[in-house]
Amino acid sequence: MGLNDCKGDFTPFAMTEKPVKQHPLLLPLLWGVSWLLTAKDGLTIERVGMKGIRPPFLVLATHQGPSDYFLAPLALFPHRANYVSDIEGFANYGKMLYRYGGCIGKRRYVPDISVMNNIRYALFTLRQPVVLFPESRHCDAGITSVLPDDLGRLAKVLGVPVMLLTMHGSYLKNPFWDEAHARKVPLRARLELLYTEEQVRTLSPAVMQAEIEQRLQYDEYAYQRENSIRIGGAHRAEGLHLPLYRCRNCHAKGSMDSEGTFLFCRACGERWELQENGQLLAADGCAVDIPDWYRWERAETRAEIAAGHYGLRVRVRIEALPNEKGFIPMGDGMLTHDRSGFTLTPDSVPAGAVDTFPLHIPSRLLASAQTEYNYRGKGACLVLSTQNCCYYLYSNDKNFHVTELEFAAELLFGYVSGTLSNL
């Protein structure tokens, strides 16, 4: 699937360009399309504590799946809003459409003062709500992804009311490991006032951070069981081996696969069937929760790092996304990851490339890793970003497990930043 930039233009995306209000001619289309795409799922929206609240305000939203992009505008109706968005969207949908749809460009996991300036401009000059998805990606296994540790400080600096937008059903409808096949799942959204402007002034960043983190937690499989949601389909487990890449039985990595309703290990032969209630059932009748399996994998990665056994060195295919004009093929190269961070070394550097290679991104600067399970039909992908460019990396190496890279990046960042006392 395309979006290739044949001209090889490495000019960085214009991060300093000021955001604009959503164009009034686009609003009926945005709301209409969002309603059409969610009405069949029985969408219900609850608004709590919103009486008398007018923009500007900050909205912190959960981010489970693609349906979130339609739930958020409907939950905020009749207000227009600006949305902080990855620049890939500008390339995918066109800069003008995305810009006049209210989007503010950002590269994931790259601190950029321009983004902060644009958020402030949207709030205080445009007098708009600004929507952030702090998880920065769709969740892998139905539970909250790692959240930034500066949300309380952000709320304090901005000094505007803070809303929470929590959504349910997006992941279950389109799980990240199989977003191509939608399930029939009811959608729910709840927009509520978390802090008034006065509370933001008086509460400490630490207190707000702790409460924001707690309120943004979710477990979609628990939600599924609590609401007696049954998800059938003859292919409902296909793709589940992408987040659950390590066998729970023999602990082999990369041996997992899936077909139909089954998840199985090619190394030891163990099989689990994905039940309609969202649990995995082994042949011996033991049930396993998908989030528990996912957390166990993370603990295993942590143990490997602590023991000094973790490290990656693989050949990759590189595509660069410097701006909204599209992807630039960069050929092959070498990717390594260890305690020091990620290092990318292309075999050759195309003319016009802005970054210096080998490119090294230290662990202390990368709070998480942007990963994709089947990006544009090209397979699993790791994205490394700088201020100037996003590098999309693909590999056929059997040791290239993007879920593990995600775990390792988060654990190493936590360790070097002091949020993890030890590994």
pLDDT value for 421: 56
In a domain, 5, yes or no: no
Residue 352 shares a structural domain with residue 288: no
| Mean pLDDT in residue range 307-336 | 96
Tell me the residue range of the domain where 188 lies. Answer: 27-226
What region does 63 belong to: left with phi over 0, alpha with psi -120 to 50, or beta?
A: beta
Answer yes or no: are the C-beta atoms of 333 and 316 closer than 8 Å: yes
pLDDT value for 346: 98
Residue 259 shares a structural domain with residue 184: no
In a domain, 18, yes or no: no
Report the range of poorest mean pLDDT among 37-46, 150-159, 414-423: 414-423
Strand positions, DSSP E, 268-308? 271-274, 279-282, 287-289
Instruction: Specify the DSSP element, H or E, that contains 109.
Output: none
**How far apart are alpha carbons 387 and 368 in whole angstroms?**
16
Q: Which amino acid is at 130?
A: V
C-alpha separations of 148 from 24, 53, 184 in Å: 33, 26, 32
Residue 252 shares a structural domain with residue 201: no
- pLDDT 10s digits, 7-59: 789 999 999 999 999 999 989 999 999 999 898 898 999 999 988 889 999 99
The answer to whether residue 420 scores a pLDDT higher than 70 is no
Determine what percent of the chain is predicted with pLDDT higher than 70. Answer: 97
In a domain, 21, yes or no: no
In a domain, 258, yes or no: yes
pLDDT value for 94: 87
162-168/58-61 β-pairing: parallel
pLDDT value for 1: 39
Instruction: Give me the residues paired with residue 259 across strands.
Output: 262
Residue 217 shares a structural domain with residue 238: no
**How far apart are alpha carbons 160 and 195 in whole angstroms?**
9
**What sign has the CA pseudo-torsion 90, 92, 96, 100?**
negative
**Residue 327 per-residue DSSP state:** B
Number of domains in the chain: 3
Residue 248 shares a structural domain with residue 369: no
Q: Is the pTM of this model over 0.75?
A: yes
In a domain, 19, yes or no: no
Residue 110 shares a structural domain with residue 165: yes
Residue 282 shares a structural domain with residue 411: no
- pLDDT 10s digits, 226-237: 999 999 999 999
C-alpha separations of 296 from 143, 224, 249, 407 in Å: 13, 21, 12, 11
Instruction: Give me the residues paired with residue 61 across strands.
Output: 165
Residue 87 shares a structural domain with residue 130: yes
The answer to whether residue 215 scores a pLDDT higher than 70 is yes
The answer to whether residue 92 scores a pLDDT higher than 50 is yes
CATH number, domain containing residue 158: 3.40.1130.10
Domain boundary among 260, 289, 309: 309
Residue 269 shares a structural domain with residue 383: no
pLDDT value for 51: 86
In a domain, 422, yes or no: no
pLDDT value for 43: 92
Residue 66 shares a structural domain with residue 158: yes
pLDDT value for 416: 84
**Residue 57, CB half-sphere, CA atoms under 13 Å: how many?**
25
3-state percent helix, strand, coil for the chain, nearest multiple of 5 = 30, 25, 45
pLDDT value for 328: 95
pLDDT value for 50: 87
Domain boundary among 289, 309, 329: 309
- 61: tokens are 């939203």
| Mean pLDDT in residue range 388-397 | 96
Query: Around Cβ 301, how many Cβ atoms within 10 Å?
Result: 23
SS3 at position 95: helix
| Mean pLDDT in residue range 380-387 | 97
Residue 216 shares a structural domain with residue 243: no
In a domain, 10, yes or no: no
The answer to whether residue 90 scores a pLDDT higher than 50 is yes
The answer to whether residue 114 scores a pLDDT higher than 70 is yes
- 87: tokens are 């620049």
The answer to whether residue 268 scores a pLDDT higher than 50 is yes
CATH number, domain containing residue 399: 2.30.29.30
Q: Which amino acid is at 89?
A: G
- pLDDT 10s digits, 124-134: 999 999 999 99
pLDDT value for 422: 63
In a domain, 22, yes or no: no
Residue 347 shares a structural domain with residue 255: no
